[in-house]
Amino acid sequence: MFNPHCVVFCVIPKHSSYKASPMSFVIVRKNYYGGNWASFSFSGLLSWIKENQQNTDISDECEDWRKLILENEEVISLSKKDKTIQHVEDFCFGDQDSAENVEEAGALLKLPAFGASDADRVAQESEKECTPVENTLAEVESQEPEKATGTEPASTVEGNDPEITSESESSHDAALGESTPETGSAPSESSAQGPKKITYAQIVREGRRFNIDLVSKLLYSRGLLIDLLIKSNVSRYAEFKNATRILAFQEGKVEQVPCSRADVFNSRQLTMVEKRMLMKFLTFCLDYEQHPEEYQDYENSTFAQFLRTRKLTPSLQHFILHSIAMVSETDCSTLEGLQATKKFLQCLGRYGNTPFLFPLYGQGEIPQCFCRLCAVFGGIYCLRHSVQCLVVDKESERCKAIVDHFGQRISANYFIVEDSYLSESTCTNVCYRRISRAVLITDQSVLNTDAEQQVSILTVPPEDVGKPAVCIIELCSSTMTCMKETYLVHLTCPSTKTAREDLEPVVQKLFDLNEEKETENEELEKPRVLWAVYFNMRDSSGVEKKSYDGLPSNVYVCSGPDSALGNDCAVKQAETIFHKMFPAEEFCPPPPNPEDIIYDEDEIAPEESGFSNSPETKPESSTEESNSGDSTAVKKEDNEE
């Protein structure tokens, strides 16, 4: 994942060996890493909500920056507003007044949210308009949260683990065989007493226990991101927890879906005949390419229509379509459905009883892990640093430099720009999709069991034909994303309307939004929503570079998050951009041993730093020079965000 909300550029070193010298420079206009891939503490998210509701402009720091542009140069202005987030609505279902004078435990002082000259103005406005809770911007502590004690051990992906590196497990027995059950799940301490009432003041006070992702994803255990984490050894910076169960919503009830062979034969939901049907179909899906006669007559049909021809019961069709393949009932072809089912099955048993992993402290840890590796090898990150424009040479039509908000020219050979930086004039012909997102804090799980520490994924099919299904990921406190005795619930779907209009009907089905309502039968009581936020996020993942007007050949555009459950789109995009810049280099190679790192400061000429307050800059090397010889790919670590 390339760094969202940033302009990235690098100076190409002379040799292909690892160097302990500045190789890349990442400029981020926000005051936190990750852009739309970021995670926040609760107070940090409140500040993020306020910022997006106000949609404040970033003022120019240097008004005479145009004096730096030469006669043979032209500029491509960049957008000063981040328009990727819209329709932000947050709701508290508790007593907000009780939290007026409550401060977040261990919170740091608020940092300026915009440019340096705006810091005083923002602070003054915050003192007048915001509550003490909203005044505490916790983007820093959200990245390094206070670690909770007494939680269950997490699974750690290690590159030298023979179980991880072995690829011989893709056989039928590995995919459908019995896998080690999840360990460390603590029995429910409050099952007899019922859930304790959590107040809004408690959420505010324990705000640093929350790590709330702007984008909700899981990692397929055999997906491209896991392979990249192992190959690059970035996995040593993170820990992961298995998603413990796959759920289905059918006939108004939430139930667990059997996935592995052990789950199927231990299931009490399925009859013996259904178990045999399911096992036979899943075995076929693992090597469906070897039996084209089974599906070639249905290649032009939907996967749902194909399932009806397999003599599967309606319950099994629902499980396969919505909880295993996780595809649309109307838009997914037979081949796409078979491929999705096979991918799900091949990921079973590698690290646990489901195909998915979740990073402790949230999805926002993944960009930070790549940031750390980049910094180890000399990468420089600048937060709260906005950019005015790209400087383009008229003759070569290549981008030479950028001008920042201090009026400083920064030269480079390549530029990677996140889509939100581009102006409306550049994006005239671009048609964006959108993602509807909701984040809920609840007091209990959607499916209570004896083991309360569960990470669950649930797909709720649409009621109306043509509408998208809603993907729900429910996280427990042992994921380090929420305080004890609460759950963090993420809802995601492609947008058709505003996020609230798309997702609130599903929230009302599964959760109780009425604080005063009390149910006599506690077993039928829905989880109570304590706090919720809805917002729409831009999805630019399908936009091709040719759709943007007037971008030079050495400027590459990376998108923000997409609506898919996994991260394959971001990894593929990062690798594609990397190989366009450095076709002869390996993408994200394994890092060397510390003793192999070469410290050679003499080879780094002062002018290679690329910083200048003068329009006279070092002539730009040609594409051939940059890509020939022993040029090093220095941006492989920038795919984190």
- Quote the DSSP letter at residue 333: B
Chain centroid to Cα 225, Å, comes to 11
Chain centroid to Cα 521, Å, comes to 38
CA distance 433 to 7: 22
For CA atoms 271, 273, 279, 281, give the dihedral sign: negative
Most confident range (mean pLDDT) of 50-64, 91-105, 467-481, 602-616 is 467-481
**pLDDT the model gives residue 164:** 40
Looking at residues 310-319, what average pLDDT do you find? 92
- The answer to whether 443 and 495 are in contact (CB under 8 A) is no
**pLDDT the model gives residue 464:** 83
In the structure encoding, which two tokens stand for residue 265, read together?
């034969």
**pLDDT the model gives residue 193:** 52
Q: Quickly list H helices, 219-333.
A: 224-232, 261-266, 272-286, 303-308, 314-318
In the structure encoding, which two tokens stand for residue 97, read together?
């007044």
CA distance 13 to 368: 24
CA distance 476 to 97: 27
**pLDDT the model gives residue 536:** 97
Q: Quickly list H helices, 144-260.
A: 162-165, 172-176, 200-205, 224-232
* Secondary structure (H, E, C), 621-641: CCHHHHHCCCCCCCCHHHHHC
Q: Which amino acid is present at 481? A: T
In the structure encoding, which two tokens stand for residue 443, read together?
């007091």
Residue 94 pLDDT class (50, 70, 90 cuts): confident
Q: Is residue 555's pLDDT more than 90?
A: yes
Query: For 183-216, what is each residue's pLDDT tens digit?
Result: 344 444 444 455 568 889 999 999 999 999 999 9
- Quote the DSSP letter at residue 208: G
| Nearest CA-CA partner of 515 in 452, 461, 604, 443 | 443
**pLDDT the model gives residue 120:** 42
What per-residue string of b and e applies to 206-241 under the rule 16 or more CB within 10 Å gives b? Answer: bbbbbbbbbbbbbbbbbbbbbebbbbbbbbbbbbbb
Query: For 46-86, what is each residue's pLDDT tens digit?
Result: 999 999 988 666 555 566 777 888 889 999 999 888 899 99
- The answer to whether 136 and 43 are in contact (CB under 8 A) is yes
Across 418-432, 578-592, 622-636, least confident range = 622-636
Query: Greater confidence, 235 or 627?
Result: 235
CA distance 263 to 324: 13
Residues in contact with 562: Cβ distance below 8 Å, sequence separation at least 6, in sequence order: 435, 539, 541, 542, 569, 570
Return phi, psi of residue 79, to 5°: -70, 140
Q: Is residue 16's pLDDT more than 60?
A: no
- The answer to whether 189 and 484 are in contact (CB under 8 A) is no
Q: Quickly list H helices, 135-233.
A: 139-143, 162-165, 172-176, 200-205, 224-232
* Alpha-carbon distances of 332 from 159, 303, 512, 563, 567, rounded to whole Å: 35, 6, 33, 15, 19
Looking at residues 455-472, what average pLDDT do you find? 91
Could you tell me the end-to-end alpha-carbon distance of the chain, in angstroms, rounded to an integer?
4
- The answer to whether 348 and 291 are in contact (CB under 8 A) is no
CA distance 32 to 114: 11
* Alpha-carbon distances of 331 from 93, 321, 348, 466, 547, rounded to whole Å: 37, 12, 26, 8, 25
CA distance 30 to 246: 36
Looking at residues 261-288, what average pLDDT do you find? 88
CA distance 415 to 412: 7
- Quote the DSSP letter at residue 19: B
Return phi, psi of residue 88, to 5°: -85, 120
CA distance 460 to 510: 10
In the structure encoding, which two tokens stand for residue 206, read together?
């324990």
Query: Greater confidence, 518 or 124?
Result: 518
Return phi, psi of residue 173, to 5°: -65, -35
Q: Quickly list H helices, 324-480.
A: 334-347, 365-376
Looking at residues 106-119, what average pLDDT do you find? 48
| DSSP H helix total and E strand total for the chain | 16, 23
Residues in contact with 66: Cβ distance below 8 Å, sequence separation at least 6, in sequence order: 75
In the structure encoding, which two tokens stand for residue 179, read together?
């896998």
Q: Are strands 245-250 and 456-460 parallel, antiparallel or unpaired?
A: parallel
Q: Is residue 599's pLDDT more than 90?
A: no
CA distance 617 to 73: 12
Q: Quickly list H helices, 429-550.
A: 499-510
Across 64-73, 161-170, 188-197, 300-309, least confident range = 161-170
CA distance 514 to 99: 19
CA distance 28 to 150: 36
Q: Is residue 2's pLDDT more than 70?
A: no
Mean pLDDT, rounded, of the chain: 78
Please name the residue that has the structure tokens 């007899």: 192
CA distance 503 to 284: 35
